[in-house]
Homo-oligomer: A and B are copies of this chain.
């Protein structure tokens, strides 16, 4: 009854493994963003404490994160902004532009395709596909919406490694399958569904409604819990900095089951 995952489980248990903790990876882009800002303002060096404040995290964490990939600062001085940007860019793989393709040209897909923020940070949208004949041929920024069948060609032509899923939930798995089949290795999924992919394919899920629900949960606790004792519990959502929020899950889906 439960569709079993067509793919083996990750088993990421404990190999020689990941040098960089996941949590740190999520912060690197934030540091990068803050540093670009500092650089633009002509700042030459920055201390871990200052950077921490900008990124909204603890100074010790900034130092630990940066020390992960041998980016050394200068004791007594701090980090050299320009150098650190270079290092981060290298670590984040932003030395060249990443071609991306968007599946789904609805409201969200269109907005993403037209969104300047991607190009600005090293991601170029090289194609947008859809199945709806009404949308095919439409112009979005400098692109023309193509038929989903052209996906393979687009991916091959531009060596696309990242795909963005912006289709309704019912079509998300199919979109993921097509992307994976055409060779895409990482997916950013905006559809509110867990998608099943081989475990060497990276997935990040961003569910906008989930974000609002999390806010609503905390909101509902402000005055609520009147009965509940501990009252002044109004936690704000914390979290972090510009970071990502996302969250998600990844890939795993499990498998089998009755």
Contact among B93, B107, B244 with A220 in the assembled complex (CB-CB below 8 Å): B93
What separation, in Å, do the CA atoms of A215 and B110 have in the docked complex? 21
Interface contact B233-A250, CB-CB below 8 Å: no
- Identical chains in the assembly: 2
Cβ of A1 to closest chain B Cβ, rounded Å: 8
What separation, in Å, do the CA atoms of A234 and B49 have in the docked complex? 32
Interface contact A42-B258, CB-CB below 8 Å: yes
What separation, in Å, do the CA atoms of A246 and B236 have in the docked complex? 14
Interface contact A207-B257, CB-CB below 8 Å: no
- Whether a CB of chain B sits under 8 angstroms from the CB of A73 is no
Interface contact A185-B240, CB-CB below 8 Å: no
Contact among B224, B230, B232, B252 with A54 in the assembled complex (CB-CB below 8 Å): B252
Cβ of A45 to closest chain B Cβ, rounded Å: 11
User: Which stretch from A28-36, A131-139, A150-158 is at the chain B interface?
Assistant: A28-36
Residues 11 to 40 of chain A near chain B (Cβ within 8 Å): 12, 15-19, 22, 25-26, 28-30, 32-34, 37-38
Which residues from chain A sit less than 8 Å from chain B, CB to CB? 2, 10, 12, 15-19, 22, 25-26, 28-30, 32-34, 37-38, 41-43, 49-50, 52-57, 91-94, 98, 100, 107-108, 110-112, 114-115, 117-118, 120-123, 161-162, 185-189, 192-194, 199-220, 222, 224, 228-255, 257-258
